[in-house]
Amino acid sequence: MTKIELIKGDITKITADAIVNAANSSLLGGGGVDGAIHRAGGSAILDACVAIRNKQGKCKTGEAVITTAGNLPANYVIHTVGPVWNGGAKKEEELLRNCYINSLGLAVEHNVKTIAFPNISTGIYHYPKDRAADVAIASVKEFLETNNQTIGKVIFVCFDDENYTLYKSILEQ
């Protein structure tokens, strides 16, 4: 049985096999959690992202790539690109779900036992937090029920009170 944990705090401080970054399609860093991860992890993460870009080009929305975690207390950073909220009729839900499913797929491929997720798309990309929390929890549960043999723990790391309260109430149901 995989454990699902909820933490309020800074994902760059989490000790896990992998932490997930809410990146943008350039993979070259940005604001929010992306900026925090690159700042705390150091240049090895950006170097690895540049190498991936040179090989495959930009990362499409909903897709994920994996790099070293540099100086962070994790082994890997999984960079996934969340959808920008555009009213809800632009496949945002499917794309956000893909972020979680594809990140977990990469985690399994790399034998990750513990993985931490931020609240993808709920910052600069303005996905409504309540809807994003529903999608995040439902996709993770679905993946764990159908595909998982290796992941022992999934941690949802909420940076703000609103997300933390939302996740808490959904997870308690």
Could you give the string, one character per residue 10-49, with x where binding to ligand ADP holds by CB under 6 A and - elsewhere? xxx---------x--------xxxx-x-------------
Residues 133-172 within binding reach of ligand ADP (CB under 6 A): 157, 159-160, 163
Helix (H, G, I), strand (E, B) or coil at 47: helix
Binding range to ligand ADP, per CB under 6 A, among 42-50, 59-67, 120-128, 148-156: 120-128
HSE, side-chain direction, 13 A CA sphere, residue 60: 5
Within 8 A by CB and 6+ apart from 91, the residues are 83
By C-beta, is 48 or 95 nearer to ligand ADP? Answer: 95
Considering CB under 6 A, how many residues would be counted as binding ligand ADP?
A: 22
Question: 130 and 166 in contact (C-beta within 8 Å)?
Answer: yes
Our finding on whether 80 is near ligand ADP (CB under 6 A) is: no
Say how many residues make up the chain. 173
Q: Which of 142, 145, 102, 108 is nearest to 120 (CA)?
A: 102
Q: What is the DSSP letter of 68?
A: E
Our finding on whether 123 is near ligand ADP (CB under 6 A) is: yes
Binding site for ligand ADP (CB under 6 A): 10-12, 22, 31-34, 36, 82, 118-125, 157, 159-160, 163
